[in-house]
Structure 1
């Protein structure tokens, strides 16, 4: 083979792997959101169209006297809805790739509630969320990265919406 022909062949071999395309929406991006979804968990819940009931807020178990706070991310209309205790909330959300999630702005009802400080803390956590991770039936929301204590943790409540 002539040297020029070898160079052309080498260039073709080097270019072929870069011609592959990857669907970034189907896998976590690099960096802090690696392992956003634990695909090895036998019962990993999907992010959308699930009622996620709050179990921890800022690393502490929740104890609301009203109803259990929850979050539902509707699939077709990119709308978040839920209850912060006794007040309801709703608003838009974006989840451009697996592991990234932004909520809001969220609108709430304004009932006088006994757990108003806890509701405010919950809504603030939702507004700060930028990343998520699902492990089994647990959804964790994080601020700028997925290191450290989650802003909020939720448990999937099958059959409820």
Structure 2
């Protein structure tokens, strides 16, 4: 005959082994990603206006990084590197100025030219999770000019 505490232990193990999903899946709640910080995050360009951005075979991903310590912005526009300054006059605004770029000859400059032009028009931003949207005017009144995603490196 098996002692009662062994039967209880076996029953508990069997019941716990049958559980297939954690509490979030059972209640219908979905985990949310907290907003990535605007500064000191590598933001990679995913959409320019209404068009998805693809990386050309001979190019790099367009990205930008806003540094905290000296309000400098730096990045890659696809072929050429750029840097400059930014200001954040209010918590929902950001403006880029004095953007300087290398001038290498690149086979596909259309996306790069449009990306750099859009950066010069930016006044507002909104971050939801790992997505940064940059706007020329207030987000409630304008469509985003750029959509970027946070990329984390180890």
Q: Is 1:159 aligned to 2:153, yes or no?
A: yes
Number of the residue aligned with 1:51: 42
Q: Which moves more between the two structures, 144-153 or 114-123?
A: 144-153
Q: Is 1:102 aligned to 2:83, yes or no?
A: no
3-state DSSP of counterpart to 1:118: helix
Number of the residue aligned with 2:55: 64
Unaligned runs of 5+ in 2: 1-31
How far apart in 1 are the matches of 2:98 and 2:118?
12
Instruction: Give 1:62 deviation, angstroms.
Output: 0.3
Greater C-alpha radius of gyration: 2
The answer on whether the counterparts of 1:138 and 1:153 sit within 8 Å (CA) in structure 2 is yes
3-state DSSP of counterpart to 1:106: strand
Instruction: Give 1:99 deviation, angstroms.
Output: 0.8
How far apart in 2 are the matches of 1:81 and 1:92?
8
TM-score by length of 2: 0.75
3-state DSSP of counterpart to 1:141: strand
| Count of aligned positions | 121
How far apart in 2 are the matches of 1:143 and 1:69?
19
How far apart in 1 are the matches of 2:89 and 2:120?
17
Unaligned runs of 5+ in 1: 1-40
Aligned Cα RMSD in Å? 1.5
Q: Which gives a bigger RCO, structure 1 or 2 (Cα 8 Å, sep 6+)?
A: 1
The answer on whether the counterparts of 1:105 and 1:127 sit within 8 Å (CA) in structure 2 is no
Instruction: Give 1:71 deviation, angstroms.
Output: 0.5
How far apart in 1 are the matches of 2:42 and 2:133?
14
Number of the residue aligned with 1:123: 116
How far apart in 2 are the matches of 1:130 and 1:70?
18
Number of the residue aligned with 1:87: 80
The runs of at least 4 aligned residues of structure 1 exceeding 4 Å deviation read none
